[in-house]
Structure 1
Amino acid sequence: MFETLQAQPADKILALMAQYRADPRETKIDLGVGVYKDATGLTPVMKAVKAAEHKLWEEQDSKSYVGLAGDPAFGDAMVELVLGDSVPRETVAAAATPGGTGAIRQAFELIQMARPDARVFLSNPTWPNHPSILKYLGMEIVDYRYFDDETRGVDFDGMTADLKTARKGDVVLLHGCCHNPTGANLNAVQWQEVIKVLLETGATPMVDIAYQGFGDGLEEDAAATRAVVAAVPEAIVAASCSKNFGIYRERTGILMAVSKDMSAKGLNQQTLAFLNRQNFSFPPDHGARVVTMILNDPTLKAQWIEELESVRVAMLGLRTQLAGELQRLSGSDRFGFLADHRGMFSRLGTTPEMVEKLRVDAGIYMVGDSRMNIAGLNAETVPVLAKAIVDAGI
């Protein structure tokens, strides 16, 4: 049987990591891997997480299964964190998943069950796992314009023109905040225009929110998602706890199905539990339990918010420093977009050849589409990167 298997394309980021590890240069900089790093290059465990885990270790008296949709308390806590009071809780079905990726996968399968002929509109570019999973499931993808390589901002006219071609039964996937891979985000006025298009076309929005708290703040980063779900009849939301709680390896995510028709919640909840059963049965509980403890304990929550805010401010500081250093070295303000972008990533908007030149000449490792992880920098490496970019003629 196995002789019929075919080699699959190598993961570009994993291949980049291998190249980085093999590079002997002490001055090399890793801007490829999408994890937060502090000034020492470590992805730390938050103090609030450690405190919750210690409390869990002391109090937990069973490792038995929880439920196909996970602990309902986790669903309640995450719905409040992401959606706030934008919609009544009784309109939201929710199920825990193995990470944000698991939520995305379950969302696509939910769409496939409900509308086998649905087209899924993806921003160009988007997180590579979006099209990868959709292609594996055999679902139709429609790209919509998003990133402008000239301005390094959002091509909003192109985006709205493409979204107007959607129809009822289609799904439009939107990044709730901190767009991956570009870092370029819609403003509040533009979000309202997108909502208007969704209402006109009848397409269903699916929001992927993986970086809440990394952009402009916890509440600010949730504002667009809340505005969307409050305005439309139905919506799908996939959220991740990997970044804002720093629990990457615990694989903690959640999928939400929102319907203004309150009678639909029971069927939606049953369907989410069914999908979990088919794919992995019971979702992981440790990370979800830790998140629930933090969000439900005022002291731990305050500590977590303070830590998350320090992470956000640190990344904004790196962005400002990099944009300023590039302006100093180049004598141009063409890199000002780096300070305007939000989240872990920015896209330089240059060619794969230039990205390779940065790697060969200066040991700068970033994804071939010029996406770079801002959190991979520190105060000492920012000038090194800025000089490499200017020397390369980008």
Structure 2
Amino acid sequence: MFENLVMPAPDAILSLMASYRADPRTDKIDLGVGVYKDETGKTPVMRAVREAEKRLAAHQDTKTYLGLAGDVAFNAAMIDLVFGPNADKARLRAVQTPGGSGALRLLADLLNRAKPGATVWHSDPTWPNHIPILQSAQLKTQAYPYFDATTGSVRFEAMIEALMSANAGDIVLLHGCCHNPTGANLTIAQWTALADLLVEKNLFPFIDLAYQGFGDGLEEDAAGLRIVAGKVPELCVAASCSKNFGVYRDRVGAAIIMARDEAAATIAFTQMGAVARVLYSMPPDHGAAVVGIILTDADLSRIWREELDETRQRMLRLRTGLADELRKQSNSDRFDFIAEHRGMFSRLGLEKAQVERLREEHGIYIVGDSRFNVAGLPEGRLDVLAKAIVSVL
């Protein structure tokens, strides 16, 4: 049986992690792996998460299944977090999933059940795992222009022009905030214009909200999604708690659908459970239970929001600091866009050979497309990093 298998292509990020670990240099810098790191280089457990875990351990009296939809309180809290407390709950349904990736796959399978072989338009570039997930669900994929590497800005007019050619019923995959891998986001005006186009062309929005709270704030990062939700008749959202709660290994996510009416929402919700049954049966409980405790307890929610604000502000300081150092070292405004972008990632706009020189000559590890993890920036060595980047230009 297995003799018919061949080695899959290596994952670029996982290969980069392995190379970093094997590098004996003590001054090496890891800007590749996409997890938040504090000033010590660690991915911390948030204070609110630690307290919620204590409460869960003290009061949980069973480990039996919760059902296909998972934690009901968590699902309701996630709908409020994403759509706001005033949303039309009758049209909204959520299912707890194993991380944001699990939400993406569940929703992709749901959409394929609704419209087999549908075309999903995705940004160019997009998160590398988007396309394999969509294609594994038997959906077709088509790219729309998004990022201008020269200016570090969104190619919005080109994006709209491309989506004008989409067919009615096509699906449009959008990054809700903190675009991965570029960090370049749509403005509120652009979200509004895009929402009007989605209505005009009868296109279905599929929004990946992986970094809510990492950009400009919890409410601000959901603003674009809520603009779209206020105009279109239906959409779906894959929400992740990995970043904003720091529960990466616990795999906490939610697949949320907004239907045209309550009856359609109920049918779609039942189908989501059927998809979950095939994919993984029941979702893991611990992480979602912890997040649910935090979101439904006023004190813990306040502590978490304060911690999240600290995290976001630190990344903004790092962005500004690196942009300033690069301006000094390059004597140009070429990298000013780094301070304007949001989230954990930006692209430096380097060629692959320049990225390789950074790794070989300076021990600086970034992904081949020059995407780097803002949270991995060495706060006390931004000048050294900037000098190395300029040296390979």
Same fold (TM over 0.5): yes
Structure 2 match to 1:370:
370
Structure 2 match to 1:58:
58
Summarize the alignment of residues 383-394 of structure 1 with structure 2, pairs less than 5 Å apart: 383-393=383-393
CA distance in 2, matches of 1:249, 1:292: 17
Shift of the alpha carbon at 1:360?
0.9
CA distance in 1, matches of 2:72, 2:230: 22
Structure 2 match to 1:121:
121
Residue by residue, what CA displacement relative to the aligned partner does 1:114-167 show, whole Å, maximum 9, x if unpaired?
Answer: 001310001000001101122333321110000001101101111111111112
The count of aligned residue pairs is: 393
Structure 2 match to 1:347:
347
Shift of the alpha carbon at 1:86?
5.7
Structure 1 match to 2:382:
382
Structure 2 match to 1:284:
284
Name stretches of at least 5 consecutive residues in structure 1 with no aligned partner: none
3-state SS of 1:55 partner: helix
Structure 1 match to 2:134:
134
Summarize the alignment of residues 289-328 of structure 1 with structure 2, pairs less than 5 Å apart: 289-328=289-328
CA distance in 1, matches of 2:271, 2:255: 12
User: Contact 1:87–1:229 at 8 Å: present in 2 too?
Assistant: no
Q: Which amino acid aligns with 1:176?
A: G
CA distance in 1, matches of 2:89, 2:118: 27
3-state SS of 2:255 partner: strand
Structure 2 match to 1:104:
104
User: Contact 1:215–1:342 at 8 Å: present in 2 too?
Assistant: yes
Structure 2 match to 1:209:
209
Shift of the alpha carbon at 1:372?
0.3
CA distance in 2, matches of 1:199, 1:86: 22
Shift of the alpha carbon at 1:355?
0.8
Q: Does 1:187 align with 2:208?
A: no
CA distance in 1, matches of 2:103, 2:230: 21
Task: Give TM-score scaled by structure 1 length.
Answer: 0.98
User: Contact 1:86–1:226 at 8 Å: present in 2 too?
Assistant: no
Residue by residue, what CA displacement relative to the aligned partner does 1:221-251 show, whole Å, maximum 9, x if unpaired?
Answer: 0111111112101101000000000000000
Residue by residue, what CA displacement relative to the aligned partner does 1:19-60 show, whole Å, maximum 9, x if unpaired?
Answer: 001111111100000000000000000000000000111111
Q: Does 1:275 align with 2:275?
A: yes
Alignment RMSD: 0.9
Summarize the alignment of residues 169-248 of structure 1 with structure 2, pairs less than 5 Å apart: 169-248=169-248
User: Contact 1:210–1:243 at 8 Å: present in 2 too?
Assistant: yes
Shift of the alpha carbon at 1:351?
1.2
Q: Which amino acid aligns with 1:219?
A: E
Q: Which amino acid aligns with 2:236?
A: I
CA distance in 2, matches of 1:264, 1:360: 56
3-state SS of 2:141 partner: strand
User: Contact 2:242–2:251 at 8 Å: present in 1 too?
Assistant: yes
Q: Does 1:160 align with 2:160?
A: yes
3-state SS of 2:379 partner: coil
Shift of the alpha carbon at 1:378?
2.7
The 10-residue stretch of structure 1 (264-273 or 136-145) with the greater mean CA deviation from structure 2? 136-145
Q: Which amino acid aligns with 2:310?
A: S
Moved over 3 A (4+): none
3-state SS of 2:222 partner: helix
Identity level (%): 54
Name stretches of at least 5 consecutive residues in structure 2 with no aligned partner: none
CA distance in 1, matches of 2:86, 2:8: 42
Q: Describe the shift of the 1:269–1:135 C-alpha distance in structure 2 as closer, same or farther (beyond 3 A).
A: closer
User: Contact 2:105–2:137 at 8 Å: present in 1 too?
Assistant: no
